[in-house]
Amino acid sequence: MRFALKVSYDGTLFEGWQIQPNGRTVQGELEKAASNVFGVPVKITGSGRTDAGVHAEGQVCMFDAQTTIPAAKLRECFNRLLPADVRVLKSVCAPQSFDCTRGAKRKTYRYTAYYAESDLPLLSRYAARIGQKPNLQKMRAEAELIAGEHDFKAFCASGSSAKTSVRTVYSAEVSEKKENGYLLYTVTVCGNGFLYNMVRIIAGHLFAVGCGVKEEKSVLAAFETGKRSLLGKTMPPQGLTLAGVEYGDPLFSADGR
């Protein structure tokens, strides 16, 4: 029987999703819990990796197991064994044909940053600080150019093993919220898949354009030439959250996250 889990984690104290011989990973903690629940070693496959320090509200993963425990009860069984910074939000039965990696149709990432004079200790775990106030209109105009099917070679950290760097970004949106003493920025990017560091480079480029560090429309030359240097800096991991993964058939009820 195949099961799928929707998982949330605080990435701060993890060396990322993917299991490692040394180092605390989300996949490692989930496999440890699963092996305890089922009494045999269980391999867990994620929709994709997240880097060290990156968070998730709605990572999806799957595994095969023989059990009489009802699928919906597995959530509690896992949560009793998991450390407090990882939680299973939903557990469901999935068809044998379900592939949580290749079957992922849309992924949504959210990048959060704030502009303030000082670092703000209550934000810094889940957001990056930007030292200049960006121009929202410029950021939004540049984000519109990023949406669509493009060769995102320039948005990829070196060392990527992806076969093709063509991806479709369904939407890239920027919001600004005035809070007491600081401005909060959210860059939400939805696409059919992302290259290594792609969302952090998209966010970094939008902030660079908004702050006048990179020229408006410079993303167009980056698409043409594939040159990483035409884009802004890669943003740090703590501002990034994998908000959700969608499949052809809805795996989780609409109210779930």
List the catalytic residues: 51
The radius of gyration of the chain's CA atoms, rounded to the nearest angstrom, is 19
Cβ contact 153:230 at 8 Å: no
Shortest Å, Cβ 105 to a copy of itself: 18
Shortest Å, Cβ 195 to a copy of itself: 24
Distances (CA, A) of 10 to 164, 165, 169, 238, 255: 30, 29, 25, 9, 21
> Cβ closer to a copy of itself: 124 or 165?
124
Shortest Å, Cβ 149 to a copy of itself: 27
Place of tokens 């990056």: 128
Residue 125 CB partners (closer than 8 Å, separation 6+): 10, 12, 238
d(C-alpha 134, C-alpha 222), whole Å: 21
Q: What is the dihedral of CA 56, 79, 12, 122, to 10 degrees?
A: 90
Query: How far does CA 8 lie from the centroid of its chain?
Result: 11
Shortest Å, Cβ 252 to a copy of itself: 9
Which residues are near a copy of itself by CB under 8 A?
Answer: 8-10, 55, 57, 75, 79, 84-89, 117-122, 124-126, 180-182, 241, 243-244, 255-257
Shortest Å, Cβ 165 to a copy of itself: 30
DSSP-assigned beta bridge partners for residue 247: 104
Cβ contact 238:125 at 8 Å: yes
Cβ contact 170:149 at 8 Å: no
> Cβ closer to a copy of itself: 152 or 252?
252
